[in-house]
Structures are given as C-alpha cells and as structure tokens.
A and B are shown apart, each in its own frame.
Chain A
Amino acid sequence: MAQLKLSGVKKDFGGVEVIKGVELDIEDGEFVVFVGPSGCGKSTLLRLIAGLEEISGGTLEIDGKVSNDVPSRDRGIAMVFQSYALYPHLTVAENMGFSLSLRKTPKAEIDKSVLQAATILKLEHLLDRKPSQLSGGQRQRVAIGRAIVREPSIFLFDEPLSNLDAALRMETRTEIAKLHRDLAATMIYVTHDQVEAMTLADKIVVLKGGVVQQVGAPMELYRNPCNAFVAGFIGSPRMNLLKVDVTSVEDGKVRLAQPGFEHLVVPSGRVSGPGKALLGVRPQALTLNPGPHQVSGTVTLVERMGPETVISIRQADGSPLLAVLPGDVELALDANVSFSFADTDVRLFPASDLEN
C-alpha cells in the first residue's frame, strides 16, 4: 500500500523530451491505468516510477518521500514486464523466490511464500519447470507470481497481456482485477488497449506525446472527454468526429452551418468562436429513426454480430462514419441511409484538437 505523487516529472533521452511534465496523484490501493497510443511514453513513465530510468526533472514522491534517487529495490515495487523477463536458468519456484533468496531469507520461508503465491495463481503443479517448458499464459502467471512474492506496496504492469491470445487475455484480466481486490495494493498498469483500461481502472490516465490529456474514472472519461483525442480513444468503436463549421457562439451554445444540423444547438465546450470544429457522436448514439438532426451516406460495410450490428457508411464529402445499432439489422451495401441523433448525445471540440 502506497501513494504516489508525480510533480512536473520529465524525461528526456539525449535531448528529446519524451515525458513532458506529468502531474499525477495516485491514492493508496488505487488501480491506475496509463493508456495511450504506442510511443506516447506510457512505458517510460512506468519505468520512471520503477526507478529503471532516471528522472530528468520534477519529483516523484512515494508515501510523501521524494524518491527520485531511491534505487528500484528500495521503492517497494514489483514489476511485470511485457516480455515476462523470467530467468531462463531457474525453475518456476526459483524465479518466484528469487527476490527472497537475494535477501538470504531462510529456505523454508521462501518455499512457503512461493507456494502461497503459486496457489493464488494455480501454478503449484508447474513449480519445478523451467520457463521454456511453459506456455505464454503460464509464463505470464509466473511473472505475476514473482511480483506477488515480493509483497510490494506498488505493482507495476507494462502491457502484461499483449502477448496472449484473446481468450487468455480476458481470463488473465479478470484475474488481475481479482488480485487487486484481494491484495489491496496500489497497481499501475500500462496498456494501449482502451478496453483493458475501461474494465480494470479505478482511474485512467490518458497520455499522448508524453503529455497527460485527462485523468479520471473510466465512465467520467467516457461521458466527458476533455478533448477530441480522449473522445476518440476511449470507447469502442471509436467516436465519430464530424468536421463542422460553427456559425455563431452565443451564451455557451453553438450553431452549425452543416445541412442536417441546422436545428442543432450544442454546448460550445472549448469552442470560442465561429470557424472549424469537430462534432463528436458515439456510434451507439446513432439511430435509424427519423429525427431533426441527420447524417447520411452510402453503406460500405455491414458487420452483423447478433446482438448488435456495426454499419460503416461514407458521407457525401467522403468521410467515413460508424454506427452501432442494437439487434440484427439488414442493410444492403451501397444503400443510402440516414441516421439521426439527439442533441444531448453530441459534444463539440475545437478542430485544433486533432492537429499535430
């Protein structure tokens, strides 16, 4: 159990700034997920917390103590690597007990801790195997077991599920969630998969280009994304962002020039004046029922899943649009369709959000 405070944390690699001043508070026992596209600096931020990289600027406090220069082994952390990083020459039991054996813990005590962790992860029958004799999923559990044995106050996970197949990924995800409930430790988890972020996190940190975009509970980010990037990243399938022209902003309400949106009045959000903007509509907010606000185009793809149908259309200006309709819907390819949506289901963002 530990709390963390990052203040203005920066990291540059040979002059290239990769983490650009991160402010973040992590509470005791919280499950925090860093999410963002590949290369945004998630792993680097995690490695700064782990002490595997040196912090170039700002401070990292663990339990109120500035820990920038505290070596990894004294930070009370354990880390699960994407590649598992199991010691190939040691058995599963030796891998899990490695940290204790370094501390010259008596053998009986090591065996007890290892067995305890192995029982939680159902690894008892594999204790004498070498990592090379295990499947990917089993290796992953051993890596988690090795972390548990250390009894850390902070668990760090770097994309732990990305090398597993879909079924195993879901199973292990459930297990990690259960582990968090049972151990009540602080967990920081890195992923590029927003589904993992949504399902596991108490708190999601959305990163882009080394900058924190938004921090909040999963549903908070889903309902109130602060910018078009977060809006597009959280939620599946991704939110439609329609290019629109703002004609006027009055009393925090915006009017749009687009045909079909003449009657639409949306909160201006961060849009301050007339010009280009992005109108965010979740695919699930679109319906085939007629309504005052319309988007239309020709059907390019129909994916019938059973409980829902995902329809891709191309609008008149060539831009794509995605709609998710409940139940099974039959639509012919190249048919013209119109979807409508409610005023309350849309969100406006400045066009500059998606630049750079």
Chain B
Amino acid sequence: MKTSRIWQMVPLLAPVQLLLLSVIVIPSVYVIWLSFHTSTFGQSASFVGWGNYVQVLTDPGFHSALWNTVVLVVVAVHLEMLIALGMALLFNSGLWFRRILFVAVLAPYAVSEVVGVAMWRFLFDPDVGPVSNLLAALHLPLLEWSYEPSHAMIMIAILTIWMHLPFTFVIIYAARLALPSDLYEAARIDGATPLQSFYRVTMPLLGPAILVALLFRYIFAFRLFSEVWLLTGGGPARTTEVVAVYLYQEAFTFSAFGPAAATAWIMVIVSMLLASGYIYLLRRQVRNAG
C-alpha cells in the first residue's frame, strides 16, 4: 500500500485522537512555547527562558489574585458543600412539593452566567435592588459590593455558590438516593438515633461522592472567572481580581501574552496538583471500602 493512501486513511481511523490533538494538544504546546517568550501585538516573539514565570510569580498583583482565589475557593466550595449536603438530606427526608423544588434548585444551571450575574447585580443594586431595599427596610447592613472590596468578595462568593450549587447538590443527592433504605432500618433496630445514623452510616457512605464533588468544584472554582469579571471586573482597583481575571488582564488589557501564557500554565499545574491529591485520596478510600 502506498504511503499517501495510508495518510488518507488516518483521519478515518483516529477521529477522536485528531480532535484531541487539534483542540487540546496543539494549543497547549503553543501556550507552553508562548510562556517562554515575550510576545505582544506587532512584535515578533523572543525567547526569555523562565523570565515570564519569574515575573508572574513575583508580581504583587498575582499574589493578591492568588490569595483572593484561594479564599474564594476555600470559603465558597466548602459552604456550598454544606448547603448541598443539607439540601440533599432534606430532599431525601420527604419534602413537600419535592418536584417543583427540585426544578427550582436546578434552575441556576440552566441560566446563562451573564444573565445570572445581571440578575444578582440588579437584586443587590445598592440604590434600586429589591434585596438592598429589603435589607435597608429591616435596618440590616447593606452589601456595598460596588466599592467595598470585602463586600464584593462576599457577593462573588454568594454568586458562585448559587451558580454551582446545582452541580454539588445533584452529586450528593444522587449518592444519597443510592444508599439502600434497609441500612437505615438495620441501624434503627441496632439502636441508632437519627443523628447517629447520619454520622455513622450516611457520612461515611457519602464520603466518596463528597470527595468527587469537592475535587471538581476546587478545580472549577480555581478557574473562577465570569462571576468576578461580570460583577466587579476585578475592581475596585484590582482588589477582587482572581487568577483567571489576572490572566485575562495580562493578555487582553496589557497584551502581555508571555506572562499570560505562564499564568495559564501555573493554573493548569495547580489544578493538576489538586486533582492528583484528590485522586490519591479517592483511590485510598475506594481501596479501603473494597
């Protein structure tokens, strides 16, 4: 068979591989290449070695963005897990109007992020927002998110929890539904109070699902972008910038493609570290359970 004919056949034999190559591998390699060069519009790239990485890692702006990201990840993801767990158990314990509530809980996932953010901006608008008005009427402190950085961070956390709660909730709820009811009957006969059933049966058995949900959410949350960008744009004065926003600013505001590419790779590496840590824990748990 002629070599040219083999080359004609390759696309038919390996569509998935080709797809991966074109949409993941080649861009990734290009970004690696870019991260070792200085590059901006109208100027040919020149090699700078680790320079971009050094620049990013020593930039106070990056430090603050990283700190903000870590705070948001830790606070939002764990709070979200607690809420999701509570709601899953509530749904499981036989709630009234369960179907309608289920739809309501899942709805944020069907709403476009832009629409969602616009909605929350309106609700919490310091001047005309219904929630702000309500808080004011109750003489409660307002969320001054448009100029008070800590309030803005709270607002971002609320928003990201609201947006991703359906994901966490569905994973935990599905895992809870999969637990056979006779285990709980056995526990009841064994003398367990509802609280003991929760700590000694539900929690250990939901462990793997909680771990998986947390892992995914850490990774998603680490890439947190649209909530921040659409709500505060990283402001006021870059105080609420997160890593992904920092990257975006570097690339498209300052046209510094080299540091932006380096930031992207730093994010990938952190995500992979998170993921591998959790996969390790997960495998250990599965081995223990098996």
Contacts and interface: CB of A to CB of B under 8 A. Distances in A.
Interface string A94-105: 000011001100
Contacts of B175: none
A89 interface: yes
Interface in B105-135: none
29 contacts: A50-B189, A51-B189, A52-B185, A52-B188, A71-B188, A73-B189, A73-B191, A77-B189, A79-B185, A79-B186, A81-B185, A83-B182, A85-B186, A87-B186, A87-B187, A88-B289, A89-B207, A89-B289, A98-B190, A98-B200, A99-B190, A99-B191, A102-B190, A102-B196, A102-B200, A103-B191, A132-B289, A132-B290, A146-B190
Interface string B200-229: 110011010000000000000000000000
A51 B190 CA distance: 12
Contacts of A150: 190
Contacts of B256: none
Contacts of A132: 289-290
Contacts of A169: none
A293 interface: no
Contacts of B186: 79, 81, 85-87, 146
Contacts of B290: 130, 132-133
Interface residues of B, number: 19
Interface residues of A, number: 25
B192 interface: yes
B75 interface: no
B60 interface: no
A77 B186 CA distance: 11
Interface string A61-89: 00000000001110001110101011111
Contacts of A87: 183, 186-187, 201
Interface in A136-162: 146, 150
Interface centre among A89, A98, A103 (most CB of B within 10 A): A89
A78 B187 CA distance: 11
Nearest to B192: A102
B21 to A, nearest CB: 40
Interface of B: 180, 182-183, 185-192, 196, 200-201, 204-205, 207, 289-290
A261 B93 CA distance: 63
A87 B180 CA distance: 10
A87 B196 CA distance: 14
A73 B190 contact: yes
Contacts of B191: 73, 99, 102-103
A242 B236 CA distance: 94
A83 B184 CA distance: 13
Given A102-B200, A132-B290, A150-B190, A85 B182 contact: yes
A88 B205 contact: yes
A172 to B, nearest CB: 19
Contacts of A50: 185, 189
Interface in A278-324: none
Contacts of B180: 83, 85
Contact of B183 (A51, A52, A79, A85): A85
Contacts of A72: 188-189
Nearest to B205: A89
A346 to B, nearest CB: 45
| Interface-central residue, B183, B191, B204, by most chain A CB under 10 Å | B191
Contacts of B201: 87
